[in-house]
Amino acid sequence: MENKIKAHNSILELVGNTPLVRLNRISEGFTGNFFAKVESFNPGHSSKDRIAMHIIEEAERKGILTEGSTIIETTSGNTGFSIAMVSIIKGYKCILAVSSKSSKDKIDMLRTMGAIVYVCPAHVSADDPRSYYEVAKRLHKETSGSIYINQYFNELNMEAHYKSTGPEIWEQTGGQITHLVACSGTGGTISGTAKYLKEQNPNVKVIGVDAFGSILKKYHETREFDSNEIYPYRIEGLGKNLIPGATDFDVIDKFIKVTDSESAHTAREIAKTEGIFAGYTSGAVTQALKQLNEQGEFGPKDNVVVIFPDHGSRYMSKVYSDQWMEDQGFFDTNTVSETQKVQY
């Protein structure tokens, strides 16, 4: 009998090809056209599905991973979830060494996805044998046939976006993109996407979004590591206290910094205006748009693409909790803009 079933063979076939959605109300009054690449449409609800798939499939191609091999990484965040998801389908063991600062919800979520989670003390330095970096390195050394994803220093991270996110955006905009604005953490998303887009049209302007308390913007401007730039901040997944090897700073034209408070309020505003339930860094990148628009960055015919990296459900006890916002002082009148005061 002819097979008429239109099913995917596994959830992994749904990685990538995420939609580009026009922003309407949040960009009201801005000069230009604005579009969001909504990465929560990936099956693991974030852009990290792309790097998990690419890095694991490259290791398979090279014969490093075989059935039953172990995959190791040091994150309780989106990358951990994506690696766990890919590991389940492909039959690998997934070990995640995470900081004791990670929420119980996150650890439970990773265990639900089949990962073995080592919870390592947060208060020790990175070179302490108990730190999650050192635990991951040790497990990698001790486990033959294992791979250590090491997303901050793995060039395949950038390559995943060069091969998928970049071409998708070029195709979805019919080559008419003028600006890419994206958060930079490992830098894989922005550098890989930018590299592809600039190869198609060198005039595409690429703007990275960084946090106050992170080193990236200053490093981009001076190529020097200035430890005075580093202090704690709230936004997760954006900015860094080291120079990630996975970032190609040469394909980024400039960086802009955003605050914890304004990014949090803007994330809430995206839900209320566009009906898109996105993560904290989607708030950050949209906050950057507001600032860039005010600075006169965009012309009336410009087509600006921003990347929304993940889904809002991961932030219910943070940005989308009034109590958490209150505890951070984000409802203090002097940190909230006039328009945001009206909304909340």
**Catalytic residues, which ones?**
48
Of 173 and 281, CB closest to ligand PMP: 281
Determine the interface stretch with ligand PMP among 52-60, 65-73, 178-186, 291-299 (rule: CB under 6 A).
178-186
Say whether residue 211 binds ligand PMP (CB under 6 A). no
The answer to whether 148 and 140 are in contact (CB under 8 A) is yes
Token digits of residue 249? 């700073």
Instruction: Tell me which H or E stretch contains 254.
Output: strand 254-258
**Binder of ligand PMP out of 33, 40, 146, 189 (CB under 6 A):** 189
Cβ neighbours around 335 below 10 Å, total: 16
Task: Report the nearest approach of ligand PMP to the CB of residue 67 (Å).
Answer: 29
| Residues 326, 339: Cα–Cα separation, whole Å | 18
Token digits of residue 141? 């050394």
Here's the x/- map for ligand PMP, 301-320, by CB under 6 A: it reads as: --------xx----------
Task: Report the nearest approach of ligand PMP to the CB of residue 309 (Å).
Answer: 3
Task: Report the nearest approach of ligand PMP to the CB of residue 38 (Å).
Answer: 13
**Binder of ligand PMP out of 32, 43, 44, 279 (CB under 6 A):** 279
Here's the x/- map for ligand PMP, 78-97, by CB under 6 A: it reads as: x-------------------
Determine the interface stretch with ligand PMP among 64-72, 186-194, 216-224, 329-337 (rule: CB under 6 A).
186-194
The answer to whether 229 and 286 are in contact (CB under 8 A) is no
Residues making up the chain, counted from first to last: 344
Cβ neighbours around 303 below 10 Å, total: 17
**Binder of ligand PMP out of 77, 166, 283, 312 (CB under 6 A):** 77
Determine the interface stretch with ligand PMP among 53-61, 166-174, 181-189, 258-266 (rule: CB under 6 A).
181-189
Burial bucket for residue 240 (CB in 10 Å: 0-12, 13-18, 19+): buried
Of 170 and 308, CB closest to ligand PMP: 308
Order of strands, edge to edge, in the sheet holding 205-211? 20-22, 33-38, 303-308, 179-183, 205-211, 254-258
Here's the x/- map for ligand PMP, 132-171, by CB under 6 A: it reads as: ----------------------------------------
For ligand PMP, how many residues bind (rule: CB under 6 A)? Answer: 16
Of 32 and 77, CB closest to ligand PMP: 77
Determine the interface stretch with ligand PMP among 81-89, 183-191, 194-202, 251-259 (rule: CB under 6 A).
183-191
**Binder of ligand PMP out of 70, 87, 186, 286 (CB under 6 A):** 186
Of 69 and 151, CB closest to ligand PMP: 151
Helical H segments across 150-259, by residue range? 155-163, 165-172, 188-200, 216-222
The answer to whether 42 and 50 are in contact (CB under 8 A) is yes
Of 16 and 279, CB closest to ligand PMP: 279
For β-strands 205-211 and 179-183, DSSP reports them as: parallel
Of 69 and 252, CB closest to ligand PMP: 252
Between residue 221 and residue 240, which ones bind ligand PMP under the rule CB under 6 A? 237-238
With CA atoms as reference, report the closest residue to 212 among 263, 162, 249, 246.
263
Residue 200, sorted as left (phi over 0), alpha (psi -120 to 50) or beta, turns out to be: alpha
| Exposed e or buried b per residue across 203-228, where buried means at least 16 C-beta atoms within 10 angstroms of its C-beta | ebbbbbbbbebbbbbbbbeeeeeeee
Q: What is the binding site for ligand PMP (CB under 6 A)?
A: 77-78, 183-190, 237-238, 279, 281, 309-310
